[in-house]
Structure 1
């Protein structure tokens, strides 16, 4: 494609990304009655609200319960009657954490804190959600989003991941997916082997995601999407999974763009995965009275009790895919170097202060998670009073900008957990010949005090900008009237880049005001309270508040 033709495609994408004429009703009845390969589904017609159609809680795979626990994902049995797909499916079984669903369902409210440290979610959970603009357009690009949560927690109904705004403004079909988590998603126990290489891989969560991509291939057309233009996007552990999908030999033809945010290619050796599984098995037998074969006890134990076993024994789940040799190569980086991966355009990203979400790991967060969740949930960003930095950060990390303070400590977390792995991942694909690798750094830190110092440009703060969702969520304390103009402008620019990327493989567009060059160059995205700004940067392994300040000076923001 010539540059002129690519520019015309990009311009068209930007022109149609705004509100479009509503689809009055297709020839064959309701615009939200669609026929999938599994059966008919009836969704939500929200033309007069969000300007979208949506289908929630579509089962894409057989429930992984009873004999199908720790089995390779199977396609759901077809249905004949119209299935109402107007409510989210339950989150998958998991230990309750900050980004988990409420104990009484897949919704976000103050009840989430009551599930902290408890077993929440359900084992029958393999559903996905589809959002699209309420228009008659066909062959729209498709975005499949894989949520984060350390591969241990999370759920597709998290309000940050609501796909309505992104679908309308990027003029795309957006799909969000539930997949097995923690002990159910990544479990390589010798006693559970069947002789089937897929089941014996232990990579059940990744097999779920692959099955969801197969559902998209079979059914994109039914929802007005283009099965030959599917971008897989994920954040945090979801980004780790996107990279894994790129190297899996099972994803041929299933993905055409990759958008991994705040995560890189990292795998778990089989020895580590099996040691974890053995620890869980021994704990399950102990809690069941000390008798019986591990495999039998594990298979028969209710899902919520198995989660409680891991909580009682403080067993940390593995957080990456298992390098089994079938689903994932034993040497994933070697596979890329040899050209055995999905060589597709990549749009990766990080926030400047990723590490500020993980203060609990080093004792930097003063309140308990229960107290911190309550403080954040009840905080009014339009009346920011009553909280100080010392209410949220321990004395050992104060002052935040002093030697050994919170800024310095969190920068070390940013570097050790995030930046090294993204540099290795991006540099490896570029060395292998990928010439369509792009990268952004988001520096937005305009939260009301004290959260501008406590969190700043923290891990996952880019997601509300990506999805255009600034309502009630984990980060809603950050979004008030004072910073509305700048953050909405920044969200428009970022969604514009996603819209361009999923169409052309290049995230650049005119509204950025700066040419977006390929890795190791980066695009710095930020905003004051009033306006967004961007500038060209270079990845240098930098992170933290100091790097954000340096970027602002360099860009004259």
Structure 2
């Protein structure tokens, strides 16, 4: 039962799963680019198992559905969450809220990677997975569209969606056996970026109590930069609809366009028209002074950021995920075809043994090191007000598969351990394990999940299999390294 009405649960792998519960009204038509509103009441039992709720996006990456690359998938009607809970709910369990990745322009809670039964069982937690608005529908700063509406004028629709989901969880999760006073956010990539924004938002106070942030850092723009960027987006839309012959003409038109006319134009566009005209849109949070106070490193000031225990994770070669297509001379679509078949495996083997690979690896290591440095700089500022930081790094050891050499410990590869996913529908996707490694993998997952089980209950990962995970204290020797063959403290 929820505050809106009854919902149907399915018994799966010994756990109860409730699919696609609406936590807010569909942000469509006149609710596009508005703060989320209350969901509708329903007397009939809600059954969301076959409900399609992927947020509107363009298929461009290897994660995000099976539709042809470059086509629009999903819908603006996307504000739904899944709950995975236990049959015995006599005592309340900690709550894990999963926030998916995808650069805030792609992805879904329902992706194959994020199957969470093992995580829920091993941590003895209630797991909630949330969808939210992506891309230009989740981030669009133009305050003139929302006069006298502070929240909607912020442009931070992704943030507002997540706040609405957390409020819904506070009001409802006890009915599913979850403890609303013990909520831990877990997110990777864009999910981690979103957690940082929640940590920095004064509107999130009391809605969560711990965080696990993997492969991301705060990305908050000033209103000046956001307004300048989004004006360019409007110009593209004007050109795409034949209102101006080029962006220079569109810029002049926009200066003299009445707010009512601009509003009518933007809200009259279809989902596909908006997305296809703004390919390459870069999602951003905005320091509007209300939902988020400041941008850049200033977002880490003492009065701007919540104080709570946090695990911050990275992978050894974060940058390979973003450079492998260029290195192999493939498009995303071509790469995905190769990953799904053995047809071109010889070309991958040839690349790994070539001088091109040596250059590629050096480039990946250099770019990955810069990302690690950037995260470290933010954490040093964050640590001034928060001494409860625990750091994690995932590393892949060399193996037989050439894919292991191409991807290495790439961005998002640690999710194989978080969600206990040793294999995928695509045979060469995140290939780190040989068949003989499976028993060791399961032991590694158990140890990782035990650390997380400790953390979500006490705020400390504790000691597992004789290895204590200490507070970071800016020391490299205090970083836990999750390797494909062992856990290790320090390098």
Same topology, TM > 0.5: yes
User: 2:444 matched to 1:490?
Assistant: yes
Q: Is the 8 A contact 1:152 1:181 kept in 2?
A: yes
Residue 125 (structure 1) aligns with: 78
2:133 maps to which residue?
180
Moved more, 190-199 or 345-354: 190-199
Q: How does 1:100-179 map to 2 (within 5 A)?
A: 100-102=63-65, 111-112=66-67, 114=68, 116-179=69-132
SS at match of 1:423: helix
Per the alignment, residue 222 of structure 1 pairs with: 175
Contact 2:316 2:409 in 1 (8 A): yes
Measure how far apart 1:446 and its partner are. Answer: 5.2
The verdict on how the C-alpha distance between 1:278 and 1:339 changes in structure 2, with shifts beyond 3 A counting, is: closer
2:291 is aligned, of 327, 343, 357, to 327
Match for 1:309 among 269, 274, 277? 277
Deviation readout 1:394-446 (Å, 9 max, x if unpaired): x7xx3433xxx111101122133x213321222122112x2211001111245
The alignment status of 1:341 with 2:305, answered yes or no, reads: yes
Asked if 2 retains the 8 angstrom alpha-carbon contact of 1:198 and 1:327, the reply is yes
The separation in 2 between residues aligned to 1:285 and 1:260, in whole angstroms, is 38
**Aligned equivalents of 1:353 and 1:247: distance in 2?**
27
Alpha carbons 1:387, 1:450 under 8 Å: kept? no
Cα-to-partner distance string for 1:57-113 (whole Å, 9 max, x where unaligned): 1111110000000001112122121111323542111111225533xxxxxxxx34x
Cross-structure match for 1:545: none
Question: Does 1:66 find its partner at 2:29?
Answer: yes
Query: Do the aligned partners of residues 476 and 88 (structure 1) sit closer, same or farther apart at CA in structure 2, a change above 3 Å counting?
Result: farther
1:55 is matched with 18
1:43 equivalent in alignment to 2:23: no
Q: Which residue of 2 aligns with 1:356?
A: 320
CA distance in 1 between partners of 2:230 and 2:27 (Å): 18
Q: CA deviation at 1:135?
A: 2.7
Change (3 A) 1:453 1:80: same
**Counterparts of 1:254-403 in structure 2 under 5 Å?**
254-290=207-243, 293-311=261-279, 316-331=280-295, 333-334=297-298, 336-359=300-323, 363-379=326-342, 386-390=346-350, 398-401=355-358
Contact in 1 for aligned 2:138/2:283 (Cα 8 Å): no
Distance (whole Å) between structure 1 residues aligned to residue 329 and residue 448 of structure 2: 34
List gaps (5 residues or longer) in structure 2: 245-256
Separation in 2 of the partners of 1:231 and 1:196? 30
- 1:163 and 1:175 in contact (8 A); partners too: no
Q: Do structure 1's residue 87 and structure 2's residue 50 form an aligned pair?
A: yes
Moved more, 211-220 or 467-476: 467-476
Q: Tell me how many residue pairs correspond in the alignment.
A: 471
2:412 alignment partner in structure 1: 460
SS in 2 for 1:502: helix
Distance 1:45 1:169, change over 3 A: same
Distance in 1 of aligned mates of 2:418 and 2:435: 19
Aligned twin of 1:233? 186
Alpha-carbon offset, residue 385 of structure 1: 5.8
Q: Identify the match of residue 413 of structure 1 among 349, 367, 373.
A: 367
The question of whether the paired residues in 2 share the 8 Å contact of 1:273 and 1:322 is answered with yes
Equivalent in 380, 395, 407 of residue 443 of structure 1: 395
- The alignment yields a C-alpha RMSD, in angstroms, of 2.3
User: 2:165: which partner in 1?
Assistant: 212
Structure 1 stretch 301-310 or stretch 327-336: which is displaced more? 327-336
Post-superposition Cα deviations, 1:156-177, rounded to whole Å, max 9, x if no partner, equal 1111112211111111011111
Instruction: Report deviation, 1:341.
Output: 2.5
Distance (Å, rounded) in 1 between the aligned partners of 2:201 and 2:179? 22
What secondary structure is seen at the aligned counterpart in 1 of 2:465? helix
- Alpha-carbon deviation of 1:247? 1.1
Structure-1 separation of matches of 2:130 and 2:433 = 26
- In the alignment, the residues of structure 2 paired with residue 138 and residue 526 of structure 1 have an alpha-carbon distance, to the nearest angstrom, of 35
Q: Which blocks of at least 5 consecutive residues in structure 1 are unaligned? A: 1-34, 103-110, 538-550, 552-557
Aligned to 2:153: 200
Instruction: Report what 1:23 is aligned to.
Output: none
**Shift of residue 280 of structure 1?**
1.9
Please give the secondary structure, in 2, of the residue aligned with 1:268.
strand
Aligned residue for 1:492, secondary structure, equals helix
Query: Match for 2:467 among 498, 504, 513?
Result: 513
| In structure 2, C-alpha distance between the alignment counterparts of 1:473 and 1:497, rounded to whole Å | 28
